[in-house]
Amino acid sequence: MPTPTFESRRREVTDYFNATAVEAWKKLTSDDKVSGIRETVRQGRQEMRDTLLDWLGEMKDQRLLDAGCGTGALAVEAARRGAKVVAVDVAGNLIDQARERTPEDVPAEAIDFRVGDYADPTLGTFDCVVAMDSLIHYRGEDIVTVLSGLARRTSRAMVFTFAPRTPLLATMHVVGKVFPRSDRSPAIEPIGEARLKEMLAADPVLGAWRIGRTRRITRGFYISQALELVRP
């Protein structure tokens, strides 16, 4: 069950992507020319997306939850590999873009784009869950709570990213607070890898899962770390 702190931060994320960052995010996730800094973010996101898709492996006829799907790039690639994707995001503007950008070679029934809460149990059960850069805005306790709920409805594996605690990321976190509130993106919540693994292992549900591969990707201003959880 999402906590009050999760709900509060989710409202910030929703407002940011539905209003403040609409055009910037649309451009970043397109093929349009962007600044050098944003290009490093674009490259880092592509490398992370490729990593998570590689970890998911064979997906033919697998039901996949793309939790925080954004503009749908990962959902599209998963569908091309045969997955039946439920792609969910809190921001209606991002879902609108995702639907518009879905290529013609991807059957309409292959991806079910939805505006809403990816932790909603009414979404049903899944073979796999992927959450790329959608949990980085939440505290470690909230990340574990959400993953624990999803684990109850997932039969094979979950792959997700978190914001690793590094000096550069800590500096970016502090600097972000000096901007006017109207210009800020929702704060990220860095957490140490060892600490996160301890919290996952201590959870009554996730403790039964195996912690698998991990990979940190740093490309300029893009810093994110992937982690794999596998049901025994």
pTM: 0.89
Section 19-36 average pLDDT: 72
Average pLDDT over residues 41-63: 95
Name beta bridge partners: 128: 64, 157
Give every CB contact of residue 231 below 8 A, 6+ residues apart in sequence.
Answer: 151, 154, 155, 156, 157, 208, 209, 210
Q: Percentage of residues in the chain with pLDDT exceeding 70?
A: 88
pLDDT band, very low/low/confident/very high, at 175 (cuts 50, 70, 90):
very low
Q: Would you state the pLDDT for residue 167?
A: 66
> Which of 139-148, 178-187, 208-217 is predicted with the least confidence, judged by mean pLDDT?
178-187
Query: Which of 20-34, 112-126, 179-193, 195-209 shows the lowest mean pLDDT across its residues?
Result: 179-193
Paired tokens of 145: 């709570």
Which CATH number describes the domain made up of 4-230?
Answer: 3.40.50.150
The pLDDT of 101-116, averaged and rounded, is 95
Whole-angstrom Cα distance, residue 205 to residue 231? 10
pLDDT of amino acid 151: 98
